[in-house]
Amino acid sequence: MSEHIEQPEERQRRLARLQQLQSEGRDPFAIERYERTHLAQEVVDASADHWTLPEEEAKALSFRLAGRVTSQRSKGKTAFYDIRDGSGRIQLYIRKDDLGEQAFEDCLALDLGDIIGVEGFAFKTRTGEPSIHVREIALLSKPLRAVPFGKIDAEGKVHSGLSNVEDRYRYRYLDLLVNPEAKAVLTKRCQIVSAMRRFLDGEGFLEVETPTLQEVAGGAAARPFMTHHNALKHDFKLRISLELPLKRLIVGGYDKVYEIGRVYRNEGIDTQHNPEFTLMELYQAYANLEDVMELVESMYASIAQTVLGTTVLEIQGETVDFAQRPWKRLPMLEGIHQNAGIAPEEMTNLETAKAACERIGVPFALEKENTLGGLIEKLHEVYTQPKLIQPTFITDFPIETSPLAKKRPDNPALTRRFEVYIGGAELGNAFSEINDPIDQRERFEGQLAQRAAGDDEAHPMDEDFIRALEYGMPPTGGLGIGIDRMVMVLTGAESIRDVILFPLLRPGH
């Protein structure tokens, strides 16, 4: 196992250098601030004014920058260093006859990762590289561990450095420091969340916060985490969705609310799942499923335009344009008919549906399927979902798997629900919400029966929620979007861990 923790000799060397500086009264950790006049990118920028000045005037200018040493190339009585700050990289040019013996020796004693401040003037080398000709240099922080900056070749490809997958997640600060692509993706995530907030605020939604510690963890099919409150001597569950508190707020008279928050599901970990992930849910009174579809379409287009600068993306070899509306709508049973060759008439009861599955030779075990709705969703996932590269709303989910969505008036086996798919991934889930307390109670009771039959992810009864509905909730459209998945699609990330700053890892290091 690779470890940046144990590097005794490296550490000893750096510690000795630090102690030497401290004994000379030059403790870098005693420094509190460094006045900067420029960021690296501002100096490098080809259109910057300082590049047009005559040489003498250019030399008279003063630039003060600070950053990490990422590369050093010493050549006897001169040396080139690269430093990087939040804006980018710039080269430093250092001459012994400018700095004097002591300062030049100090420079040669620098390590990759040292944080320095420099003062000098801007010029371009013979090869045309924008650089700072350094007149003063100050060590601002001395790392005691080797910072694994790799080498960057002519194509900009990073060599060595930090590539071990586990280390990248475990020591994310190093990943951010030495792998620019990793930082770019994670920064985009933050910008996507910010753009989503601005979009929803602009649509008149109010951002609210609801409890993460709950007596009944509902709103989704998942096993919760448990925790304990000492003073109340009571076990609470961590929320698995945002749904039920938000709908209580609709009952309370808020017409448009949303929450962006962390939820926790006690499930396995893989490239698509992290036990804690971020969900955005919104509820809009007096709106139905079709209203929510339009909201999803314009929200995606808005966020993509804001963060990526375009609504057109290449996803799995296909060109996808979020701005091309309306997105496709496809009833689930129709999708299964097209992609699996099982007609809707065959899926009116579990026996005929299973027979049809045997006819086409499904690649999963039929014994485990004990509800018609569950089997239909399974067929959808296996046969239809991988083909949904272009943005598509799958509608008319079976009632057994949709305990919070209104029934279709013309077919009570199906619900007023959609999931939105892009690039074969499920990116949103929406209902015309049940506001009939009698219907809601029956649905929960149906879930309790499934739970009794061994499904420990079936929805629990929530008496207080039904009580809220009994005081009256307007017709309401609701939407849930998994932020992490959405970021994966928008950034092309292959693992959910690449879009979470600190993904959950097994403890023990």
Partner RNA sequence: GAGAGUAUAGCUCAGUCGGUAGAGCACCGCCCUUUUAAGGCGGGUGUCCUGGGUUCGAGUCCCAGUGCUCUCACCA
User: 278 near 257, Cβ under 8 Å?
Assistant: no
User: 406 near 432, Cβ under 8 Å?
Assistant: yes
We find the least distance from the C-beta atom of residue 355 to RNA, in angstroms, to be 20
We find the least distance from the C-beta atom of residue 204 to RNA, in angstroms, to be 27
Location of structure tokens 């861990």 = 497
We find the least distance from the C-beta atom of residue 420 to RNA, in angstroms, to be 10
What are the structure tokens assigned to 247, written together? 């709908």
Nearer to RNA, 169 or 199 (CB): 169
* Other Cβ atoms within 10 Å of 136 Cβ, number: 13
We find the least distance from the C-beta atom of residue 105 to RNA, in angstroms, to be 10
Query: What is the 8-class DSSP label of residue 168?
Result: H
What are the structure tokens assigned to 130, written together? 């924008």
User: 70 near 148, Cβ under 8 Å?
Assistant: no
Nearer to RNA, 205 or 277 (CB): 277
We find the least distance from the C-beta atom of residue 369 to RNA, in angstroms, to be 9
Nearer to RNA, 277 or 283 (CB): 277
Nearer to RNA, 251 or 483 (CB): 483
Query: In angstroms, what CA-CA distances link 68 with 28, 84, 89?
Result: 14, 5, 9
We find the least distance from the C-beta atom of residue 102 to RNA, in angstroms, to be 15
Nearer to RNA, 6 or 351 (CB): 6
We find the least distance from the C-beta atom of residue 402 to RNA, in angstroms, to be 11
Nearer to RNA, 107 or 468 (CB): 107
We find the least distance from the C-beta atom of residue 234 to RNA, in angstroms, to be 26
3-class DSSP state of 348:
coil
Nearer to RNA, 189 or 251 (CB): 189
We find the least distance from the C-beta atom of residue 415 to RNA, in angstroms, to be 14
We find the least distance from the C-beta atom of residue 253 to RNA, in angstroms, to be 29
What are the structure tokens assigned to 2, written together? 């690779």
**Distance between CA 88 and CA 38 in Å, rounded?**
11
Nearer to RNA, 273 or 408 (CB): 273
Nearer to RNA, 49 or 55 (CB): 55
Location of structure tokens 């920064």 = 187
Nearer to RNA, 98 or 291 (CB): 98
Query: What is the 8-class DSSP label of residue 382?
Result: I
**Distance between CA 280 and CA 262 in Å, rounded?**
9
**Distance between CA 508 and CA 306 in Å, rounded?**
41
**Distance between CA 411 and CA 146 in Å, rounded?**
66
Question: Of 263, 188, 155, nearest to 219 (Cα)?
Answer: 263
Nearer to RNA, 146 or 206 (CB): 146
3-class DSSP state of 315:
strand
We find the least distance from the C-beta atom of residue 48 to RNA, in angstroms, to be 17
**Distance between CA 247 and CA 348 in Å, rounded?**
32
Nearer to RNA, 374 or 437 (CB): 374
Continuous segment of H or E residues that includes residue 122: strand 115-124
What are the structure tokens assigned to 395, written together? 């509608």
User: 481 near 261, Cβ under 8 Å?
Assistant: no
We find the least distance from the C-beta atom of residue 268 to RNA, in angstroms, to be 3
Q: Which residues contact 16 (CB under 8 A, 6 or more apart)?
A: none
User: 312 near 319, Cβ under 8 Å?
Assistant: yes
What are the structure tokens assigned to 139, written together? 């060590």
**Distance between CA 135 and CA 120 in Å, rounded?**
5
